[in-house]
């Protein structure tokens, strides 16, 4: 199961993605949904299969952002959200 420390790291990751977009809409949106996102991440952390299932997708998003490859980052984020949704609904 994900620890509080893991949840905080995941939250920082997602908020950093918002900021990395340099999108005038997404940056403030990240601030607005921070608490909701944190609650969802905590719920996901209670189910280890949800929390741990998307580590490869998180890494793909991170690597694409570091490489300044927005198309790959966008696709990787879509994959991350898809895996998480499937696990939650599943």
pLDDT attached to residue 2: 54
What does the pLDDT average to over 7-27?
85
Sequence-distant (6+) residues with CB within 8 A of 46 are 1, 2
Radius of gyration (Cα) for the chain, nearest Å? 13
In terms of phi and psi (left: phi > 0; alpha: psi -120 to 50; beta: otherwise), the region of 22 is: left
Task: Say how far residue 79 (Cα) sits from the centre of its chain.
Answer: 11
Higher model confidence: residue 26 or residue 59? 59
- Is the entire prediction scored with pTM above 0.95? no
Q: What is the number of domains present in the chain? A: 1
pLDDT at 60 over 90: yes
Collapse the DSSP code of 25 into the 3-class scheme (helix H, G, I; strand E, B; otherwise coil) and give the result. coil
**2 vs 45: CA distance, rounded Å:** 5
Q: What whole-number distance in Å separates Cα of residue 13 and Cα of residue 76? A: 14
Structure-token pair, residue 20: 């990395």
Q: Say if CB 41 and CB 11 are below 8 A apart.
A: yes
The domain containing residue 11 runs over which residues? Answer: 4-89
């Amino acid at each position: 199961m994900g620890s509080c420390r893991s949840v905080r790291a995941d939250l920082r990751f997602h908020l950093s993605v918002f900021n990395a977009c340099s999108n005038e809409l997404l940056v403030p949106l990240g601030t607005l949904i921070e608490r909701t996102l944190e609650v969802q991440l905590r719920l996901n952390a209670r189910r280890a299969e949800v929390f741990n299932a998307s580590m490869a997708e998180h890494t793909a998003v991170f690597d694409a952002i570091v490489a300044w490859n927005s198309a790959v980052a966008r696709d990787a984020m879509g994959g991350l959200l898809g895996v998480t949704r499937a696990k939650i609904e599943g």
